[in-house]
């Protein structure tokens, strides 16, 4: 009887230890990064909100986009650009490595303010070229900061603050 009980417990232990949670992020990626992050500003001339969104999913995919919205709504009117790809933990703490798999942008000489995804032009993608993305998580996980700095020796990029949407 002891052997049957021991064998049953061993089988149960093996079953439970082999199960994996599908919601676990990619190895080394903090779960605090996962979710949808938005940076919203208002364009006085257009009288529209311009929204930049970063979305990191547990399956290791990301979406980066720029849209326009009516002021203070959540309904996107259309895109300026849309990027999709995969991500993984970088070689340093607070770094992700992004691999762009799709890049869509407004047509050159664009006549409209925003476009549907189907109307966007496909941009060039360098195959297998990962880009580093340094970040900080602040305000108890509610702010995703992309630090600015000097790019290319003479261009200054400001810090970009994204708020957690979910």
Paired tokens of 114: 């925003």
CATH architecture of 2-164: Beta Barrel (2.40)
Strand 130-134 versus strand 76-89 pairing type: unpaired
pTM: 0.80
Task: In whole angstroms, give the CA distance from residue 56 to residue 144.
Answer: 12
- Give the per-residue pLDDT at 152: 76
Task: In whole angstroms, give the CA distance from residue 91 to residue 80.
Answer: 31
- Give the per-residue pLDDT at 25: 52
Query: Domain ranges in the chain?
Result: 2-164
Q: Greatest CA separation found in the chain?
A: 81
- Give the per-residue pLDDT at 65: 98
- Give the per-residue pLDDT at 5: 39
Counting beta carbons within 10 angstroms of the beta carbon of residue 94, is it exposed (0 to 12), middle (13 to 18) or buried (19 or more)? Answer: middle
Indicate if the alpha-carbon torsion angle 37, 41, 43, 46 is positive or negative. positive
Task: In whole angstroms, give the CA distance from residue 101 to residue 28.
Answer: 21
- Give the per-residue pLDDT at 20: 45
Q: How far is CA 123 from the centre of its chain?
A: 19
Least confident segment among 5-14, 32-41, 71-80, 85-94: 5-14
Least confident segment among 19-23, 31-35, 38-42: 19-23
Q: Band of the pLDDT at 153, cuts 50, 70, 90?
A: confident
- Give the per-residue pLDDT at 26: 59
Query: 61-101, pLDDT tens digit by residue?
Result: 999 999 999 998 999 999 999 999 999 999 999 999 999 99
Residue 130 has pLDDT above 60, yes or no: yes
């Amino acid at each position: 009887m002891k052997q049957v009980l021991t064998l049953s417990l061993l089988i149960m232990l093996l079953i439970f230890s082999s199960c994996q949670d599908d919601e676990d992020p990619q190895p080394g990626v903090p779960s605090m990064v996962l979710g949808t992050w938005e940076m919203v500003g208002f364009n006085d001339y257009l009288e529209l909100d311009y929204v930049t969104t970063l979305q990191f999913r547990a399956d290791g995919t990301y979406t980066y986009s720029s849209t326009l919205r009516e002021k203070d709504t959540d309904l996107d009117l259309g895109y300026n650009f849309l990027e999709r790809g995969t991500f993984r933990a970088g070689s340093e703490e607070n770094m992700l490595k992004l691999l762009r798999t799709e890049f869509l942008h407004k047509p050159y000489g664009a006549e409209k303010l925003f476009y549907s995804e189907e109307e966007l032009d496909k941009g060039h993608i360098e195959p297998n070229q990962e880009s580093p993305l340094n970040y900080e998580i602040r305000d108890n996980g509610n702010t995703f900061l992309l630090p600015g700095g000097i790019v290319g020796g003479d261009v200054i990029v400001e810090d970009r603050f994204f708020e957690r949407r979910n």
